[in-house]
Amino acid sequence: MALISTLLALRRDPRILKLPPYLSALCILVGVVWLLVLPLNEYSRNTYVSENALLPGQVHTYFTGSEHNIFRAYRHEVAALVDTSVQERTQRLGDIFRSSNLKVATQKYEYHASGRNISNQNVYAILHGPRADATEAIVLIGAWRNMADEVNHSGVALVLTLARYFKRWSLWSKDIIFLVSGDSTSGPQAWVDAYHDSYSPASIEPLSIKSGALQGAVAIDYPAGPWGHRYDKLHVVYDGVNGQLPNLDLFNTAVSIASGQMGIGCTLQRMWKHDDSYQERLQTMLRGMISQGLGHASGPHSSFIPYHVDAITLQTVGNGWHDEMSLGRTVESLFRSLNNLLEHLHQSFFFYLLMQANRFVSIGTYLPSAMLIAVNFTITSIALWVQSGRGVSTPNPASATPKASPDSKTSKPDSMTAAEKSGAIALIPTTSLAITERKLFLPLAFILASHFLGLLPLYIFNNTSEPYLGLAFNTITAVTTSLPVLTALLLSKFLCPTEQETTLIQCFSLLLLGMYLSALATLNFSLSFLVGIFASPLTFVRSLAPQTPPTTQSPQIPPSFVSKNRKSLSATMVILLVLLNPLVVIRAATLYWGATIVEVLVQAAEGWHVWGLWTQVVVWLVWWPAWFAGSVVVAGGLFA
């Protein structure tokens, strides 16, 4: 009890309000440093296969010799199909599968996004495990065109060859499905949606033949033309839609087979050269985080992961001495390992950051960094709440400090006695209540409205056709940049928000931001971290209204300075925040990576309509409202 009283007394100490900004800054700092130390040996771990059943690389592979001739023949067949119609191509591929005595079916799909028409056809074949019970299946994918829109000559030919080759083995405990999808993103999505019966019949056809529950999927991306190409390394792509990842065991098995059994080096996140230094590890990890944060489909495998089907893409890169047969043997060995599985992959991690093909950190180690960033907002919002309650220096009546004169910061015992002896009970409460009540309506309405406002760009970007997207982006950038200043102007003209109300607007906005980000951190760590970092200045900006009492100003700036340069400081902060406008950040990012903004928006719209991508929702309903509220609060200082 005594402890609680002490704490309660401490609560009223004005000094305690100075603490939160430092605490928030500390949280951000620790959060970032935490992430930076992860690549060190002390904090990351070597990967290991934890599922006993996988037994990676324990089998001899026999995909050699005569199969090579068949592969070359198929590669020419595939090359001959490049310029033919979709219908004819599917027909011919189906015939090849059929000649290997497999059941074949096709699936048409047609999506509309950004005014474009994405239509193509999937063809797939099912190999029933001769002694299996047809309750489980694994998928081998060769997309007709890869992510770079090149024809996947050798990849498709390899799928055809492997289909013919696998058919001859009798040891499959699961069915194997060979899928040649029309493209690398929408095609697999259409197929896997239809496989799990969650699709709109308007855009995709149902599958006429199916097998059991999917246990894993491997995609081959090998765009070497009809005369082949020897590659140097395998690039293992593992990001799924919305930043979900496959079980780490699948990745580890692929790496251990490719590098251990076949002697093919593995690389990830486009780090073609990796000398395992700290910088390279960090770079790999950050690239992985950005890819995860964007949540886009990074290959044919991505669509499978939301259905809890672990999947990866094996992509050939560089010039080296490995040929198609070694890739075929890698896939063969990988499928033998997957064939050994007794149940769904579950032993290893689903949340991890990779910093090299065989080094990772797991969620327990890295999650605190995003959580700290999210917590920083919560701390500030709590501080702002407390501050809003004593804006004019009146304590909360429940804390039962004597109701003293409004200007005194410390309690005066004599004023208390006066109140006691006066006996004028009815008078005191009314005054005290009138002072300490927080006016919640305007802040709550404002926050609600700003979230609804976020729906507008979300709708516009997802439903504008391609030619107008650039214009839409520029317009919305301009509008959103000027909107906070305008809103602040209008607010101060018509509603005259009190200092308490502006404080509460910021408080609620940060509270929601902290909440969204901490929930998001458990689903998509990277997105939460990135949004958190870009939004972190919102913690430190304040409305510099004239009546700001000396206790509440930003800790960096001495009071006299603030009172003198209120307007210019506010303007500086507004400009800083304009630079952190989500749209400006997106523009800067596209400039940095050399992408065009329209391309990004088209991808995002396709993601929204086809893949079920949620990143835009986070940008427009989490990040943007928080930024908007913060900017309006700061811009209020210009007009106060």
Partner 1 sequence: MAFDQQKVLLFGVAAAVRLLLFTAFPSLPNLLTGRVEISTPVTSFKRLQEGVFLYTHNVSPYDGGVFHQAPLLLPLFSLLPNPAFHPFATNLLYTVVDLLGANALMQIAESWQSAAPRLFKSSRKDLRWSSIAIGAGFLFNPFTITTCIARPTSALTNLFILISMAKASQGAGATFVLALSFASYLAMHPILLFPPLLLLCYDARATKTKSTPPLLTFAVVHVLALAAALGGLLYLSALLMGSWEFLAATYGVRLLLPDLTPNVGLWWYFFTEMFDSFREFFLGVFWLHVVSYVPGLTIRLRKQPLFVATTLTGIFAVFTPYPSIADGTLYLSLVPLFRHLFPLMRYTFLASSTILYASFIGPAFYYLWIYAGSGNANFFYAITLVWSLGLSVIVGDSLYAALRDELDVERPELRGKEVKRI
Partner 2 sequence: MMAHTFTLLLTLFLASCTIGEHTSNWAVLVSTSRFWFNYRHLANVLSLYRTVKRLGIPDSQIILMLPDDMACNPRNAFPGTVYNNADRALDLYGDNIEVDYRGYEVTVENFIRLLTDRVSEDMPRSKRLLTDDRSNILVYMTGHGGNEFLKFQDAEEISAFDLADAFEQMWEKKRYHEMLFMIDTCQANTMYSKFYSPNILATGSSEIDQSSYSHHADNDVGVAVIDRYTYYNLEFLETQVRDPTSKLTMGDLFDSYDEEKIHSHPGVRYDLFPGGEDAARSRLVMDFFGNVQNVEVEGGIRRNETVWQEELAAIERMIVEAKRRHNETVNTRPQPQHVVEEAEVADAKRSLRKEGAVRVDEESGWTKQIVGAAALLGCAGVWAAGSWFESL
Residues that bind partner 2 (CB under 8 A): 52-53, 55, 58-60, 129-132, 169-173, 336, 339-340, 342
Give 138 or 375: the residue with its C-beta nearer to partner 2.
Answer: 138
Length of the chain: 640
Q: Is 270 helix (H, G, I), strand (E, B) or coil?
A: coil
Of the ranges 342-350, 453-461, 472-480, 597-605, which one interacts with partner 1 (CB under 8 A)?
342-350
Q: Binding partner of residue 425 among partner 1, partner 2, none, CB under 5 to 8 Å per kind?
A: partner 1
Of the ranges 22-30, 144-152, 287-295, 419-427, which one interacts with partner 1 (CB under 8 A)?
419-427
Supply angle C-alpha 539, 541, 544, rounded to 5.
140
Q: Binding partner of residue 522 among partner 1, partner 2, none, CB under 5 to 8 Å per kind?
A: partner 1
Whole-angstrom distance, CA of residue 283 vs CA of residue 610: 30
419 lines the binding site for partner 1 (CB under 8 A): yes
Count of positions on this chain that bind partner 1 (CB under 8 A): 41
Query: What is the helix (H) or strand (E) element at residue 479, kind and residue range?
Result: helix 466-490
Q: Binding partner of residue 59 among partner 2, partner 1, none, CB under 5 to 8 Å per kind?
A: partner 2
Give 435 or 586: the residue with its C-beta nearer to partner 1.
Answer: 435
277 lines the binding site for partner 1 (CB under 8 A): no
Q: Which residue has the tokens 């209020």?
A: 636
The residue within the footprint of partner 1, chosen from 198, 522, 556, 568 (CB under 8 A), is 522
Give 199 or 335: the residue with its C-beta nearer to partner 2.
Answer: 335
Of residues 426 through 485, those in contact with partner 1 by CB under 8 A are 426, 428-429, 432-433, 436-437
* Eight-class DSSP state of 295: T
Give the shortest CB-420-to-partner 1 separation in angstroms: 6
Q: Binding partner of residue 52 among partner 1, partner 2, none, CB under 5 to 8 Å per kind?
A: partner 2
Q: Binding partner of residue 3 among partner 1, partner 2, none, CB under 5 to 8 Å per kind?
A: none
Give 52 or 66: the residue with its C-beta nearer to partner 2.
Answer: 52
Burial of 112 (0-12, 13-18, 19+ CB in 10 A): middle
Sheet holding 359-362, edge to edge: 45-46, 359-362, 352-356
The residue within the footprint of partner 1, chosen from 73, 382, 392, 571 (CB under 8 A), is 382
The residue within the footprint of partner 1, chosen from 18, 36, 385, 453 (CB under 8 A), is 385
Q: Please state, as a whole number, how many other Cβ atoms lie within 10 Å of the Cβ of residue 50.
A: 15
Give the shortest CB-450-to-partner 1 separation in angstroms: 16
244 lines the binding site for partner 1 (CB under 8 A): yes
Of residues 561 through 620, those in contact with partner 1 by CB under 8 A are none
The residue within the footprint of partner 1, chosen from 72, 103, 128, 344 (CB under 8 A), is 344
Of the ranges 216-224, 332-340, 509-517, 632-640, which one interacts with partner 1 (CB under 8 A)?
509-517
Number of Cα atoms under 13 Å in the Cβ half of residue 466 = 11
105 lines the binding site for partner 1 (CB under 8 A): no
Give 58 or 522: the residue with its C-beta nearer to partner 2.
Answer: 58
Give 583 or 622: the residue with its C-beta nearer to partner 1.
Answer: 622
Q: Please state, as a whole number, how many other Cβ atoms lie within 10 Å of the Cβ of residue 149.
A: 9
SS (H, E, C) 323-347: CHHHHHHHHHHHHHHHHHCCCCCCC
Contact present, 538 and 510 (Cβ < 8 Å): yes
Give 118 or 132: the residue with its C-beta nearer to partner 2.
Answer: 132
Taking alpha carbons only, the member of 263, 264, 273 closest to residue 231 is: 264
Give the shortest CB-175-to-partner 2 separation in angstroms: 11
> What is the C-alpha radius of gyration for the chain, rounded to an integer number of angstroms?
30
What's the N-to-C CA distance of the chain in angstroms?
44
534 lines the binding site for partner 1 (CB under 8 A): no
403 lines the binding site for partner 1 (CB under 8 A): yes
Give the shortest CB-387-to-partner 1 separation in angstroms: 12
365 lines the binding site for partner 1 (CB under 8 A): no
Distances in whole angstroms, Cα of residue 178 to Cα of each of 100, 128, 155, 600: 12, 11, 12, 31
Q: What tokens does 222 get?
A: 């090998």
Whole-angstrom distance, CA of residue 263 vs CA of residue 256: 9
Q: Binding partner of residue 402 among partner 2, partner 1, none, CB under 5 to 8 Å per kind?
A: partner 1
Across the chain, how many H-helices and E-strands are there? 22, 11
Give 4 or 496: the residue with its C-beta nearer to partner 1.
Answer: 4
Whole-angstrom distance, CA of residue 274 vs CA of residue 271: 6
SS (H, E, C) 126-149: EECCCCCCCCEEEEEECCCECCCC
Q: Binding partner of residue 129 among partner 2, partner 1, none, CB under 5 to 8 Å per kind?
A: partner 2
Q: Which residue has the tokens 């214009």?
A: 471
Contact present, 352 and 45 (Cβ < 8 Å): no
Q: Binding partner of residue 533 among partner 2, partner 1, none, CB under 5 to 8 Å per kind?
A: none
DSSP 532-583: HHHHGGGGT-----TT--TTSS-TTS-HHHHHHSHHHHHHHHHHHHHHT-HH
Task: Summarize as ranges the residues that interact with partner 1 (CB under 8 A).
Answer: 1, 5, 8, 244, 308, 344, 346, 350-351, 378, 382, 385, 396-403, 416, 419-420, 423, 425-426, 428-429, 432-433, 436-437, 511-512, 515-516, 518-520, 522-523
